[in-house]
């Protein structure tokens, strides 16, 4: 029970409340993961069988971290907990019960590329306009239907849905959905949405299965409950219906995935489902300084739909939040890059201590260019993952066919790779023959002589024989041995080895890295099942946090704010705080959309541990045209007392203090913000003359030009273009990284790196 001693009173109360419905509202940085893991450990220590506990997360990383922590407390019994992401847990359940809904237990899990490939083929076969029926649009439409548990039959019968499709001139969407569902079923494949959709179908159509798992999972815990969609909500509600020992953990202020179907009402209305609910609020932030927590509170206070809480920090007040203004997006990148360079030098930080967060991926360009010019190493998150590389997908396609020969997409991918003289025309003929005869493409392949001409049939038959030999081999070999055999005997490894180009070498090394990963998997002691099929399921269910193969590199992190959720960094830069960018133009049509954007800003600010910097540009290139930008309304909502306005650009005056003369100060709105008024238009309070930070801004002397500071000495008077006049107090360090401590008359003492400070020596 020693683990309970390190919890604060509210955390401990939440951990010890093990029976009945519980909601833990966990503010940013409040030790949420710790509470979940301790609560699960406490259940086991109180006599609950680990086999009767279900813990659902949104990332594999979170599940692994929790299981490791629980193991340290309760020992190997932690292995028996059903714990993982929604998709991985219910994929496991479906493997056991899939036959009841007509699927093989070794069904393939299609990734997004597989789904798009199927849809492209269907759209082509139906002779539809692939611009009007763009594959991304169609896939999103089908995904939304599945997340709302709308089958293709219900889709076609729903008058409102059909009216919407007709209005957008896409009346065939329902038929595409039908063909897609049929094609996936025939291939023995489920996409990611199906893993939840089919679980709901299973529990609805087979009450004996529902009853089985209701009594198995006597205790349920759900992490990040604010991110659940309707399909996830319904599964959890059904499973908890008998015992009602359900605990959900989340933060409505961090609900930012509506575009994926997440429904914030699930957490806001949780008490309606469970009137006897006990609520615990974790309000102490252990991550960020007081100033960062205070501005986050002032931001989220403007939202109307929320579970009220007041997050606080007992850490030091810390630096004020710096707001930087730039003339253009390129200058914004330059200011951020220079500030990172200076902060790293003056504070002895590593590159990986810094993160730049933006609303859209397109904003990375100006940041990348600026970082490259200063030689700052960086990594963009959310790029091409290891498992999405062509050569990796090719080898995995061979694995997929071996275990599920009905997998049409895998067959199409590798039947002629490496080249074996089977052209596209032959592949099309195989698919058409399969459709016509209501069999799988592989059945056509293994009976090639019945469907194809002699010479072509021979080549196809050789492919079939190879796959059938793989099916025999995998039964007697370890995952690594089986994978290596397939890589070698498919010809794939030889083909890549013979490509002596730089790209070919990289592809060959990537295959070796995959094989190394499979070997490591084969040797893991914590797994009971280590077959190649189990490895394939693991990688099919990877979430974004698992795809980065170089997490420990010393680089500045660049990512969208959505990608940053769950992460933390000592220093964070949130860039592009401009109207129609952040908040996005698409969010200005409704209060709920605007409030989600505000929650996104809240998430961005609470990623920072010790220092937060916000920036915006007064002009930005868009589609090749330079446009003027208005500062974000979110800047007006931040309490002014926590800000330090560091303006270098001086655009034309306006009645917005962030846009106009620095010598004009501003007053922030009260803490209630605009919650009771109109959130659709930007409020513009008139400027007020006062002695705030803005009043202290310095106007450089005429003809200001930085001096050569090689001979700078203690006691000299200098001028800085922003901080004004000051006196050098100390000089420390060696060239070229000499740091000067200067007392400025207008703002007080600052430490600057001389090579970036741009000082004018006033006198000796």
Task: Write down the catalytic residue from 224, 252, 391, 533.
Answer: 224
Chain centroid, CA 77 distance in Å: 31
375 is in an annotated binding site: no
C-alpha torsion sign, points 56, 60, 65, 71: positive
Task: Write down the catalytic residue from 33, 175, 214, 468.
Answer: 33
Please identify which residue in the block is written with the tokens 């492209």.
Answer: 120
254 is catalytic: yes
26 is in an annotated binding site: yes
Task: Write down the catalytic residue from 12, 32, 34, 620.
Answer: 32
47 is in an annotated binding site: no
Q: How many CB atoms lie within 10 A of CB 142?
A: 23
402 is in an annotated binding site: no
- Which pair of structure tokens corresponds to residue 616? 């915006």
* Helix then strand then coil, % of the chain, to nearest 5: 50, 15, 35
32 is catalytic: yes
Q: Say how far apart CA 634 and CA 157 lie, in whole Å.
A: 43
Task: Tell me the residue length of the chain.
Answer: 764
Task: Write down the catalytic residue from 223, 227, 339, 533.
Answer: 223
- Which pair of structure tokens corresponds to residue 282? 């974790």
102 is in an annotated binding site: no
507 is catalytic: no
Counting beta carbons within 10 angstroms of the beta carbon of residue 551, is it exposed (0 to 12), middle (13 to 18) or buried (19 or more)? exposed
Closest-CA residue to 243 (of 86, 36, 48): 48
640 is in an annotated binding site: no
167 is in an annotated binding site: no
Cβ atoms 222, 245 nearer than 8 A? no
Task: Write down the catalytic residue from 254, 289, 426, 456.
Answer: 254
Q: Say how far apart CA 601 and CA 578 lie, in whole Å.
A: 12
Cβ atoms 478, 530 nearer than 8 A? yes
Cβ atoms 107, 126 nearer than 8 A? no
Kind of pairing between the strands at 608-617 and 569-574: parallel
DSSP-derived secondary structure for 304-317: SSS-----B--S--
Q: Give Dmax over CA atoms of the chain in angstroms.
A: 97
Q: Say how far apart CA 245 and CA 241 lie, in whole Å.
A: 9
Q: Say how far apart CA 225 and CA 489 lie, in whole Å.
A: 47
223 is catalytic: yes
531 is in an annotated binding site: no
Please identify which residue in the block is written with the tokens 């469907």.
Answer: 451
Q: Say how far apart CA 475 and CA 71 lie, in whole Å.
A: 32
Closest-CA residue to 556 (of 342, 369, 376): 376
Cβ atoms 202, 107 nearer than 8 A? no
Task: Write down the catalytic residue from 198, 320, 334, 607.
Answer: 607
Q: Say how far apart CA 30 and CA 281 lie, in whole Å.
A: 10
224 is catalytic: yes
591 is catalytic: no
C-alpha torsion sign, points 197, 202, 205, 210: negative
Counting beta carbons within 10 angstroms of the beta carbon of residue 33, is it exposed (0 to 12), middle (13 to 18) or buried (19 or more)? middle
Q: Which residues are annotated as a binding site for ATP?
A: 26-33
Q: Which residues are annotated as a binding site?
A: 26-33
Which residues are designated catalytic? Answer: 32-33, 223-224, 254, 607
């Amino acid at each position: 029970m020693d683990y309970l001693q390190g919890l604060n009173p509210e955390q401990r109360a939440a951990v010890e409340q093990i029976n009945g419905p519980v909601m833990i509202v966990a503010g940013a940085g409040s030790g949420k993961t710790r509470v979940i893991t301790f609560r699960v450990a406490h259940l086991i220590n109180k006599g609950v069988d680990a086999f009767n506990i279900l813990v659902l997360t949104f990332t594999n990383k979170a599940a692994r971290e929790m299981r490791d922590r629980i193991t340290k407390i309760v020992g190997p019994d932690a292995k028996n907990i059903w714990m993982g992401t929604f998709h991985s847990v219910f994929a496991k359940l479906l493997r056991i019960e899939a036959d009841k809904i007509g699927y093989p237990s070794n069904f393939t899990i299609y990734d997004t590329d597989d789904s798009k490939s199927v849809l492209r083929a269907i759209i082509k076969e139906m002779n539809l306009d692939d611009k009007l029926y763009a594959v991304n649009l169609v896939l999103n439409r089908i995904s939304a239907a599945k997340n709302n548990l709308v089958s293709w039959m219900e889709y076609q019968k729903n008058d409102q849905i059909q009216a919407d499709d007709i209005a957008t001139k896409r009346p065939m969407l329902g038929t595409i959905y039908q063909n897609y569902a049929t094609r996936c079923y025939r291939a023995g494949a489920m996409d990611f949405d199906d893993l939840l959709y089919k679980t709901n179908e299973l529990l609805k159509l087979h009450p004996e299965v529902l009853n089985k798992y209701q009594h198995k999972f006597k205790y349920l815990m759900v992490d990040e409950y604010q991110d659940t969609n309707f399909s996830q909500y319904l599964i959890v509600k059904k499973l908890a219906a008998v015992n009602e020992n359900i605990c959900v953990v989340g933060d409505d202020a961090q609900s930012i995935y509506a575009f994926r179907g997440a429904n914030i009402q699930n957490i806001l209305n949780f008490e309606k489902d469970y009137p006897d609910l006990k609520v615990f609020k974790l309000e102490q932030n252990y991550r960020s300084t007081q100033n960062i927590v205070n501005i986050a509170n002032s931001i989220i206070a403007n939202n109307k739909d929320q579970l009220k809480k007041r997050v606080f920090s007992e850490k030091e007040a810390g630096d004020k939040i710096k707001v930087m203004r730039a003339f253009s997006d390129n200058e914004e990148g330059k200011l951020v890059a220079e500030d990172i360079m200076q902060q790293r030098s003056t504070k002895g930080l590593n590159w990986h201590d810094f993160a730049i967060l933006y609303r859209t991926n397109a904003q990375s360009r100006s940041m990348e260019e600026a970082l490259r010019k200063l030689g700052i190493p960086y990594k963009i998150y959310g790029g091409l993952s290891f498992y999405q590389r062509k050569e990796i997908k090719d080898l995995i396609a061979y694995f997929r066919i071996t275990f599920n020969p009905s997998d049409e997409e895998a067959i199409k991918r590798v039947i002629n790779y490496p080249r074996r003289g089977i052209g596209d025309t032959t592949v099309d003929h195989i698919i058409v023959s399969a459709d016509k005869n209501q069999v799988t493409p592989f059945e056509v392949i293994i009976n090639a002589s019945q469907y194809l001409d002699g010479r072509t049939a021979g080549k196809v038959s050789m492919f079939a024989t190879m796959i059938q030999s793989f099916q025999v081999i995998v039964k007697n070999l370890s995952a690594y041995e089986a994978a290596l055999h397939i890589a070698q005997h498919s010809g794939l490894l030889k083909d890549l080895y013979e490509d002596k180009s730089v790209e070919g070498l990289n592809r060959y090394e990537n295959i070796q890295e995959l094989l190394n990963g499979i070997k490591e998997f084969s040797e893991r002691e914590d797994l009971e099942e280590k077959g190649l099929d189990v490895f394939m399921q693991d990688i099919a269910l990877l979430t974004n946090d698992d795809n980065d193969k170089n997490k420990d590199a010393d680089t500045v992190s660049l990512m969208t704010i959505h990608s940053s959720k769950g992460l933390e960094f000592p220093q964070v830069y949130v860039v592009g705080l401009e109207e129609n960018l952040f908040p996005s133009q698409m969010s200005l049509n409704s209060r709920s959309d605007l409030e989600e954007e505000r929650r996104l800003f809240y998430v961005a600010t609470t990623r920072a541990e010790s220092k937060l910097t916000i920036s915006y540009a007064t002009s930005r290139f868009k589609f090749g045209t330079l446009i003027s930008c208005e500062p974000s309304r979110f800047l007006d909502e931040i309490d002014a007392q926590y800000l330090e306005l560091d303006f270098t650009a001086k655009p034309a005056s306006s009645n917005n203090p962030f846009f106009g003369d620095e010598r004009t100060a501003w007053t922030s709105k009260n803490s209630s913000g605009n919650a009771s008024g109109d959130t659709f238009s930007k409020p513009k309070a008139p400027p007020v003359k006062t002695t705030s930070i803005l009043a202290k801004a310095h106007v450089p002397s005429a003809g200001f030009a930085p001096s050569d500071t090689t001979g700078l000495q203690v006691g000299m008077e200098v001028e800085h273009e922003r901080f004004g006049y000051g006196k050098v107090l100390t000089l420390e360090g060696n060239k070229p990284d000499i740091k000067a401590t200067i007392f400025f008359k207008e703002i007080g003492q600052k430490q600057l790196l001389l090579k970036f400070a741009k000082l004018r020596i006033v006198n000796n």
